[in-house]
Amino acid sequence: MTYVWGWHLSLDLGGCSKEKITSKDNIVDFCKTLVTAIDMKAYGEPEAVHFAEHDPSKAGFTLTQLIETSNICAHFVDATGEMYLDVFSCKPFDPEVVMKVAGDFFEPEFGEMSMRERGAAKENYQEEQETNISIH
Protein backbone atom coordinates (compact mmCIF):
# COMPACT_ATOMS: atom_id res chain seq x y z
CA MET A 1 0.00 0.00 0.00
CA THR A 2 1.49 3.31 -1.02
CA TYR A 3 -0.83 5.61 0.90
CA VAL A 4 -1.74 4.90 4.52
CA TRP A 5 -4.39 7.02 6.17
CA GLY A 6 -4.65 4.99 9.36
CA TRP A 7 -4.32 1.70 11.18
CA HIS A 8 -7.11 -0.65 12.24
CA LEU A 9 -6.52 -3.24 14.93
CA SER A 10 -9.01 -6.03 15.54
CA LEU A 11 -8.51 -8.06 18.70
CA ASP A 12 -10.69 -11.10 19.50
CA LEU A 13 -10.22 -12.57 22.96
CA GLY A 14 -11.83 -15.67 24.45
CA GLY A 15 -12.00 -17.23 27.87
CA CYS A 16 -11.96 -13.83 29.58
CA SER A 17 -12.83 -13.45 33.24
CA LYS A 18 -16.63 -13.18 33.25
CA GLU A 19 -16.45 -11.08 36.39
CA LYS A 20 -14.22 -8.58 34.59
CA ILE A 21 -16.09 -8.42 31.27
CA THR A 22 -19.41 -7.91 33.04
CA SER A 23 -18.13 -5.04 35.18
CA LYS A 24 -18.92 -1.63 33.71
CA ASP A 25 -16.35 -0.02 36.01
CA ASN A 26 -13.62 -2.41 34.82
CA ILE A 27 -14.50 -1.80 31.16
CA VAL A 28 -14.40 1.99 31.59
CA ASP A 29 -11.11 1.77 33.52
CA PHE A 30 -9.69 -0.42 30.74
CA CYS A 31 -10.60 2.15 28.12
CA LYS A 32 -9.07 5.05 30.02
CA THR A 33 -5.88 3.06 30.62
CA LEU A 34 -5.70 1.99 26.97
CA VAL A 35 -6.08 5.55 25.68
CA THR A 36 -3.12 6.64 27.82
CA ALA A 37 -1.03 3.53 27.07
CA ILE A 38 -1.24 4.01 23.29
CA ASP A 39 -0.70 7.78 23.58
CA MET A 40 -4.08 8.90 22.27
CA LYS A 41 -6.27 11.78 23.38
CA ALA A 42 -9.82 10.95 24.44
CA TYR A 43 -12.65 13.11 23.21
CA GLY A 44 -15.16 12.94 26.03
CA GLU A 45 -15.70 10.05 28.37
CA PRO A 46 -15.97 6.39 27.38
CA GLU A 47 -19.50 5.06 27.10
CA ALA A 48 -20.30 1.50 28.18
CA VAL A 49 -23.87 0.31 27.73
CA HIS A 50 -25.29 -3.18 28.29
CA PHE A 51 -27.02 -4.37 25.09
CA ALA A 52 -28.89 -7.35 23.63
CA GLU A 53 -30.50 -8.42 26.88
CA HIS A 54 -33.28 -10.03 24.80
CA ASP A 55 -30.74 -12.61 23.59
CA PRO A 56 -28.54 -14.00 26.40
CA SER A 57 -26.12 -15.52 23.87
CA LYS A 58 -25.22 -12.02 22.64
CA ALA A 59 -25.83 -9.84 25.71
CA GLY A 60 -22.99 -7.77 27.04
CA PHE A 61 -21.46 -4.34 27.31
CA THR A 62 -20.61 -2.33 24.23
CA LEU A 63 -17.86 0.24 24.71
CA THR A 64 -17.29 3.33 22.59
CA GLN A 65 -14.61 5.96 23.00
CA LEU A 66 -13.97 8.74 20.54
CA ILE A 67 -10.33 9.71 20.25
CA GLU A 68 -8.97 12.72 18.41
CA THR A 69 -7.61 10.44 15.71
CA SER A 70 -10.73 8.21 15.37
CA ASN A 71 -12.23 5.65 17.79
CA ILE A 72 -12.04 2.65 20.08
CA CYS A 73 -14.99 0.28 20.32
CA ALA A 74 -15.59 -3.15 21.78
CA HIS A 75 -18.29 -5.66 22.58
CA PHE A 76 -18.11 -8.05 25.51
CA VAL A 77 -20.22 -11.25 25.53
CA ASP A 78 -21.45 -12.12 29.03
CA ALA A 79 -22.35 -15.76 28.29
CA THR A 80 -19.10 -16.80 26.63
CA GLY A 81 -16.43 -14.53 28.08
CA GLU A 82 -15.54 -13.14 24.66
CA MET A 83 -14.27 -9.65 23.84
CA TYR A 84 -14.16 -8.06 20.39
CA LEU A 85 -12.10 -4.86 20.28
CA ASP A 86 -11.38 -2.45 17.43
CA VAL A 87 -8.93 0.43 17.57
CA PHE A 88 -8.83 2.70 14.53
CA SER A 89 -6.53 5.70 14.34
CA CYS A 90 -4.72 7.86 11.82
CA LYS A 91 -1.97 8.15 14.45
CA PRO A 92 0.28 5.07 14.68
CA PHE A 93 0.06 2.93 17.82
CA ASP A 94 1.64 -0.28 19.08
CA PRO A 95 -0.74 -3.27 18.77
CA GLU A 96 1.29 -5.21 21.34
CA VAL A 97 0.48 -2.53 23.94
CA VAL A 98 -3.23 -2.92 23.15
CA MET A 99 -2.97 -6.69 23.63
CA LYS A 100 -1.08 -6.28 26.92
CA VAL A 101 -3.58 -3.81 28.39
CA ALA A 102 -6.53 -5.98 27.31
CA GLY A 103 -4.83 -9.04 28.80
CA ASP A 104 -4.18 -7.28 32.10
CA PHE A 105 -7.81 -6.15 32.41
CA PHE A 106 -9.71 -9.22 31.13
CA GLU A 107 -7.38 -12.23 31.66
CA PRO A 108 -8.15 -14.06 28.39
CA GLU A 109 -7.20 -17.68 27.82
CA PHE A 110 -6.63 -17.17 24.08
CA GLY A 111 -6.97 -14.60 21.35
CA GLU A 112 -6.27 -13.43 17.86
CA MET A 113 -5.10 -10.05 16.64
CA SER A 114 -4.95 -8.52 13.19
CA MET A 115 -3.67 -5.12 12.13
CA ARG A 116 -4.30 -3.58 8.78
CA GLU A 117 -3.35 -0.38 7.08
CA ARG A 118 -6.26 1.70 5.78
CA GLY A 119 -6.16 4.12 2.88
CA ALA A 120 -8.62 5.00 0.14
CA ALA A 121 -6.35 6.99 -2.15
CA LYS A 122 -6.83 6.06 -5.80
CA GLU A 123 -3.20 5.01 -6.24
CA ASN A 124 -3.83 2.12 -3.82
CA TYR A 125 -6.27 0.43 -6.20
CA GLN A 126 -5.89 -1.21 -9.57
CA GLU A 127 -8.80 -1.38 -12.00
CA GLU A 128 -8.61 -5.16 -12.28
CA GLN A 129 -9.10 -5.79 -8.56
CA GLU A 130 -12.39 -7.58 -7.95
CA THR A 131 -12.83 -5.99 -4.54
CA ASN A 132 -13.08 -2.47 -5.94
CA ILE A 133 -16.46 -0.81 -5.91
CA SER A 134 -17.67 1.87 -8.23
CA ILE A 135 -19.39 4.89 -6.73
CA HIS A 136 -21.15 7.26 -9.10
* Interval 84-115: pLDDT, tens: 999 999 999 999 999 999 999 999 999 999 99
Higher pLDDT, 3 or 49: 49
Q: Assign residue 64 the CATH number of its domain.
A: 3.60.90.10
Q: How many domains does the chain have?
A: 1
129 found inside a domain: no
133 found inside a domain: no
Instruction: Give the span between the Cα atoms of 136 and 124, in whole angstroms.
Output: 19
Give the per-residue pLDDT at 53: 87
Residue span of the structural domain in which 69 resides:
16-73+82-116
Task: Assess contact for 84 and 12: CB atoms under 8 A.
Answer: yes
Per-residue confidence at 135, pLDDT binned at 50, 70, 90? very low
Task: Assess contact for 34 and 94: CB atoms under 8 A.
Answer: no
Closest CA to 57 of 42, 75, 44, 40: 75
Give the per-residue pLDDT at 134: 40
Task: Assess contact for 69 and 40: CB atoms under 8 A.
Answer: yes
Per-residue confidence at 76, pLDDT binned at 50, 70, 90? very high
89 found inside a domain: yes
User: How far are the Cα atoms of 88, 111, 120, 127 from residue 1, in angstroms, in the given order?
Assistant: 17, 27, 10, 15
Give the per-residue pLDDT at 123: 67
Give the per-residue pLDDT at 59: 94
